[in-house]
Structure 1
């Protein structure tokens, strides 16, 4: 009975952590079959997602620091989207007032939803990392991964070499997480692959509802290439590095504040 209860609690926290991604895909699905009056579809999606973020923050489901991380990821994702659309990797064919260089502003939220999930699940499962390689190694690797998304259009794609580096840099890093009173752990690289796979599944749902289109999906929808899993695997690493650094800074700030209070 206890394993079932543990699994139910784990599933509950996973589901609650996915509220923003679910809101995104629900909005994409609904807006693909129901026409919103007075608004282009892309503009309506942006307004709805902004409202969802506001409600999550006001209700306490999201903290101010988590909102900041989501904002950072929205910017990172939007910059990447603008570049990828310019290079012809995919397109947003529908009209909209809130499009920047051919990219609807809501698109950044699809990247931010990954950060939202990471922040939520980190807090809900009281996660910690052991064997963290440090900001220098993790930051340089994260920067190289992000840069490769841009440079592989001009020089050879380095994703597989970067994947090997990920395994090397994070081979001693484990996630510690808690479900009720029980503590569990798993290798961080395994978590990268698991989350990357589920984002790939979500990407198939998003393209099915015309959130964007790859060149081979213009005439009819087809399954997104399995090779995209490696892209999401690498993107998840960037999100973990940013979120982990945020949590590390917050933990140090909490310790310092408590020490100062004690000395006072």
Structure 2
């Protein structure tokens, strides 16, 4: 029986730095050579990542992406996040390296390594849309902005663009359900914490507190309300 396998080869600035980074995440080094060209392999639960040294590589200009299909993502994200916190003293959600944030039920997360490679861990049989299969969808401008911001935040790793999308929608003051505005403000507060903008996070929280919401409505998005607080704790 024959089968086809695809193995990515990711560029890296320093093999030593890359190998140490993945080792801390729980990957095992299975191969390394220094000549004629720097090359190494790491493995985690059967998934292999290959690395080649590239002179002059700039992490800020990297665009290499690799998908890793896994049985589950929430526990894996927790393990990776704890490992990175142990090294950096806080959860690195910006710069190089970094890890994207997770919400309960989310199907994927991204690890960006020291060389700027994006390794996206995706739950097997995850929905193939950007809305994580959540229905129904609001047709209001604010509802659409929330989905657009989620795509930018969770799948493109662009917190700044996600924040701008929400800022524009929130500033319009167009008709929307109170719970939609609450969700947008909660998301904006979390993004502000990730971007290091404490003043914006405080403003979003203050408006959120002024909204007239029932206890039942607040319970509906309790985890979203807690996201900014959770992120703030990991940044200390």
Instruction: Name the TM-score, length of structure 2 as normaliser.
Output: 0.28
Instruction: Name the TM-score, length of structure 1 as normaliser.
Output: 0.26
Task: Give the structure with the larger strand fraction.
Answer: 2
Task: Give the structure with the larger helix fraction.
Answer: 1
